[in-house]
Amino acid sequence: MDLFPLWLSLRVSLSATALTLLAGVPIAWLLARRRFPGRNLLEAVVVLPLVLPPTVLGYYLLVLIGRRGPLGQALASVGLELAFTWGAAVLAAVVGSIALVIKSVQAGFETVDVQLEQAARTLGRSEWSVFWSVTLPLAWRSVLAGTVLAFCRALGEFGITLMVAGNIPGRTQTLPLAIYDRVQANLMDEANALALVAVGIVVVLLFGLSRLARLRY
């Protein structure tokens, strides 16, 4: 059996999770700790990927990164192409999962007592240091939960990926797309095996998460 979809999916999901954290944690901090113009708008935009149909999201992303799209043209001018590559699959997974990270981490930051951050400031710590030594260590559970959720969501991403990365066997066919393909081709044994692998990965992750959650800090 061809295991390429499994490796591709793991690679895509890990990359997407890393990018999601990198972009999502700062946004979550802004939403939890700062009042600025456009905050409500940002809060609404963040939730959009959760409520819009994936195909609609995928359509707009394709318009953005396609040959004629503004981003697509900009990338083409430096010799890069994103649409229908595994990079597009990563982008799809990021868009599909970033809301989960932002919401989970924002909630985590909001439960950290502002007084502790103020204490750190009076003790001479910079905002950067306050974040790394107080806010983040006290919200790590939420960050971890958001990470695992995001990874699982990225692993299961289907609609957006199909629109922007296509379903090219050996290139952009991720695990969920491969399962869909096998079912279409009536290869039920292969579909069954791949589905079991997906279930296995998620179960192991969730179990690990529940074990970690028992640690104090």
Summarize as ranges the residues that interact with other proteins (CB under 8 A). Answer: 113, 115-116, 118-126, 129, 133-134, 137-138, 216-217
Nearer to other proteins among residue 119 and residue 213 (C-beta): 119
Please, what is the minimum distance in Å from the beta carbon of residue 134 to other proteins? 7
Nearer to other proteins among residue 39 and residue 121 (C-beta): 121
Residues 6+ apart with CB under 8 A from 192: none
Please, what is the minimum distance in Å from the beta carbon of residue 180 to other proteins? 45
Please, what is the minimum distance in Å from the beta carbon of residue 133 to other proteins? 8
Nearer to other proteins among residue 116 and residue 204 (C-beta): 116
Please, what is the minimum distance in Å from the beta carbon of residue 209 to other proteins? 19
Nearer to other proteins among residue 137 and residue 200 (C-beta): 137
Residues 6+ apart with CB under 8 A from 114: none
